[in-house]
Amino acid sequence: MTGRIWCLTIVLTLLLGSSGGCEQKATTDAPSAGKGQQTPENAATPTAAGEKLVVGFSQVGAESAWRTAETTSIKDEAAKRGVELKFADAQGKQANQIKAVRSFIAQHVDVIVIAPIVETGWEPVLREAQRAAVPVILIDRGIQVSDDSLYTTLIASDFVEEGRMAAEWLAQKMGGQGEIVELQGTTGAAPAIDRQKGFAEELAKHPGMKIAKTQSADFTRAKGKEVMEAFIKSDREHIQAVYAHNDDMALGAIQALEEAGMHPGKDVILVSIDAVRGAFEAMVAGKLNATVECNPLFGPILFDTIEKLRAGATLPKYIKNEDRLFDQSVAAEVIDSREY
Ligand code: GZL
């Protein structure tokens, strides 16, 4: 539909005497539209010389050390490149994110970046952005939409793979035998859904291992501690291992285990995801056994991607961050080289 309108625009341009063709890249041939004017789907309009690129970023909140590292990386990179960044902290509420996106559209930003709290409920506002011809880049978490032209690209880790890595490591550590309690991330969030899925899939290969209890602790340290306290209260004897969807929840669980007189890292094995500094410190102290990296340093790749988009490049629908697992055996040697 948008493509047809675009071809028509070029035909009209030809009739008026300019050169061009429908097969040519829409962005390069675009009559220089001002911010917020109709342009082809997902095409970022080049900003006039001297004009600052304006990016609206709707962030999840500040629930974890990982999140803080992501925010800092994006803010620092924007400042370094002279990009005006409109930053909106949604404080964990999707309704706030939707409001922020609407306000970015109204302000005619050049590009909207969203780290979506949950996977569903995005279509209406993304259609509004599409109608206003503002390209949307998803960062760190994916969404479910019936029409993937509603966003330009997703830059994120493969959370299913992260879950698999954690399970594979744990199965090996526990010799294929044992009961695990799971601390899930935010209900409905892509990393919670996929880290649970990948872990369960891999664990199914080990019939001697099972998840005894699983509950959301919302990716925070405080809730990780709270949920772990409840697990300890109800079934202390059976807790052999903890799988936490992020390091912050694992650090909260460590606190709960210690307060209950248990020995995290020794009589209870813990594996989590993110590889933040606090996790390395806990590994060096012998309290956390392993963590799977999930890189939050999105700044450089995000603004490189925006630059490519604005230069008219066709972007892949998914740009993957590569992750790896670190365990206690390498923690002391690696900790000083960690950037977050
Ligand atoms: C990962 C992400 C998660 C981190 C958490 O991409 O969305 O959210 O693992 C964070 O620590 O809060």
> Residue 274 in contact with residue 247, Cβ under 8 Å?
yes
Atom of ligand 1 lying closest to residue 248 CA: 11
Q: Which residues line ligand 1 (CB under 6 A)?
A: 63-64, 66-67, 140-141, 157, 191, 219, 246, 248, 273-274, 294
Which residues in the chain come in under a pLDDT of 70?
1-50
What is the pLDDT, as a whole number, of residue 13? 33
Say how many C-beta atoms besides its own lie within 10 A of residue 223's C-beta: 19
Beta strands (DSSP E) in the chain are: 54-59, 84-89, 111-114, 136-139, 153-157, 178-184, 209-216, 241-244, 269-274, 290-293, 318-321, 325-327
Strands 325-327 and 290-293: antiparallel
What one-letter code names the amino acid at 30?
Answer: A
**Whose CA is closest to atom 6 on ligand 1?**
140
Query: Ligand 1 centroid vs 176 CA: distance in angstroms?
Result: 28
Q: Where in the chain is the domain with CATH 3.40.50.2300?
A: 54-157+297-322, 159-295+326-337
Residues 189, 176, 234: CA angle, nearest 5 degrees? 60
Using alpha carbons only, how large is the chain's radius of gyration in Å? 23
Q: Is 28 exposed, middle or buried (0-12, 13-18, 19+ CB in 10 A)?
A: exposed
Atom of ligand 1 lying closest to residue 189 CA: 7
Q: Is 41 exposed, middle or buried (0-12, 13-18, 19+ CB in 10 A)?
A: middle
Q: Which residue has the tokens 């830059």?
A: 155
Phi, psi of 180 (to 5 degrees): -125, 140
CATH 3.40.50.2300 is held by the domain 54-157+297-322: yes
> Residue 116 in contact with residue 88, Cβ under 8 Å?
no
> Residue 62 in contact with residue 68, Cβ under 8 Å?
yes
What is the pLDDT, as a whole number, of residue 48? 59
> Residue 34 in contact with residue 65, Cβ under 8 Å?
no
Query: 316-331 b/e with 16+ CB inside 10 Å = b?
Result: eeebebebebbebeeb
Question: Strand 84-89's sheet: what is its strand order?
Answer: 84-89, 54-59, 111-114, 136-139, 153-157, 318-321
Please choose, from the candidates 280, 266, 283, the residue with its C-alpha nearest in 3D space to the C-alpha of residue 257. 266
Query: Ligand 1 centroid vs 79 CA: distance in angstroms?
Result: 23
Query: 47-61 b/e with 16+ CB inside 10 Å = b?
Result: beeeeebbbbbbbbb
What is the pLDDT, as a whole number, of residue 169? 98
Atom of ligand 1 lying closest to residue 273 CA: 9
- Ligand 1 pocket, mutate which of 274, 322, 340 (most atoms under 8 A from CB): 274
Q: Record the pTM.
A: 0.86
Query: Ligand 1 centroid vs 95 CA: distance in angstroms?
Result: 19
What is the pLDDT, as a whole number, of residue 51? 82
Query: Ligand 1 centroid vs 271 CA: distance in angstroms?
Result: 15
Atom of ligand 1 lying closest to residue 156 CA: 6
Distance of CA 109 to the CA centre of its chain: 22
What is the pLDDT, as a whole number, of residue 238? 87
The CATH homologous superfamily of the domain defined by 159-295+326-337: Response regulator (3.40.50.2300)
> Residue 251 in contact with residue 188, Cβ under 8 Å?
no
- Ligand 1 pocket, mutate which of 59, 63, 67, 298 (most atoms under 8 A from CB): 67
What is the pLDDT, as a whole number, of residue 176? 97
What is the pLDDT, as a whole number, of residue 32? 30
> Residue 170 in contact with residue 211, Cβ under 8 Å?
no
What is the pLDDT, as a whole number, of residue 26? 27
Distance of CA 120 to the CA centre of its chain: 15
Q: Is 34 exposed, middle or buried (0-12, 13-18, 19+ CB in 10 A)?
A: exposed
Secondary structure (DSSP) of 181-238: EEEE-STT-HHHHHHHHHHHHHHTT-TTEEEEEEEE-TT-HHHHHHHHHHHHHHHGGG
